[in-house]
Amino acid sequence: LFERQGLSLMVCEMVSNAVMFAGLPAATARSLLEPPSDSPMASGDPASWASATQVAFERCSHVTAAVQQDPPIVEESLSEEAQAATKVRLQTLGRCHMADVLLHNRDRFACPLFLLGTRGCTAAPASLELYQEYLGKDLDLSSFESEELITHVLLGNPDNVLLQDVQQPALAGLSFIDNVAGEALELSWLRDYLVSYMQEASQGDGPVAAPVAHLEFLRLVIRVTSGHVLSDAALREVRLGSLHLIRQVVAGDEGDGSSFSSWLDGFLRDMETVESANGLQPWAAQARPWLFNSLGVFRTVAQKHAGLLAALPPFASATPRTRGAISEDELLNEADGLRANLALWVSLSPEVRAEISKGGSSGM
């Protein structure tokens, strides 16, 4: 993540004020990952929560006591700022999920598309029905070498999502790490998954009220790692974020090279230059064809659902968080000097940034 000649640091060693979903108390998880009670999407039958993942949850021997005994959070006690920030976090999770789908990055979310070819799953569960069958009755635990491997396959890598400042719901934010695309998926799998995803979002009154079965995987992740069961309303916020990402990446240029396609082309060219100059593995040139093919699939599917994407409510917004008296230019220069991801660098506390800068200047 932070790379220079001879310097490579792990984010989990740097971010001292961040926690993973794992070990997060269920009450805290609810305050951080539930939309306000008056949300127009706060519907859905609570008795149906996690029904599609209940069997998998139980067969993996995870304890449900935390879900049943955790004291309720009084939602009204959260400030409007904290409620708005909750929506931002949920929609940002959705954006990251769909970006991973575009990049074929399977190193974070265990969504139906990414279970293709994994142990115990001989069918291709890009369709929701096959995914639910896999979790509910076709999950062959004997095909796994250990419970750790079961957890990895069913949950992905939730530690690649970090929650920061969890004791301050109005300021808490998400950081995503290790977002590296791997080998390309079959484009037919990708197309079938996106078609199914958009069809579900189009049901009834649209994405603000449609079923959320495609996002059961995220409900399972949060439930196993924290004990809290995300509501349908929370998953609908996640879906809104994912749909906003789709609309953004398929948008065309307005004559200024501002489209995602133009950005991706320039980014890959810059990466090819860096790889060549530093003797790194030439990933960018190899990834270019299938990344643009993937983008083509997104465009094709999005065109068939143009009305749904055009009618999306605005992306959630919250008061920008502050991280100490330092200008944007100073932050940009610091991040550039360490070749760090700017968004992650800004999210760190001043103390952590100081420690990293000190380590970088001393040639760690």
pLDDT in tens, the chain (364 residues): 333 333 333 344 444 456 777 778 878 888 888 886 655 444 444 455 555 566 666 665 543 333 334 444 444 467 888 888 999 999 999 999 999 999 888 888 888 888 755 544 555 544 566 666 666 555 555 655 556 556 666 778 887 888 888 888 888 888 887 656 566 778 888 898 899 899 999 998 999 989 888 888 888 888 877 878 888 889 999 999 999 999 999 998 565 667 889 988 998 899 899 888 888 888 888 889 989 999 999 999 999 999 999 999 999 887 655 444 456 677 777 877 777 777 677 767 677 777 777 765 544 3
pTM: 0.77
- Please report the pLDDT score of residue 157 as a whole number: 82
- Please report the pLDDT score of residue 44 as a whole number: 44
Please name the residues in contact with 243: beta carbons below 8 A apart, sequence gap of 6 or more: 94, 98, 201, 207, 308, 309, 312
- Please report the pLDDT score of residue 224 as a whole number: 77
- Please report the pLDDT score of residue 324 as a whole number: 46
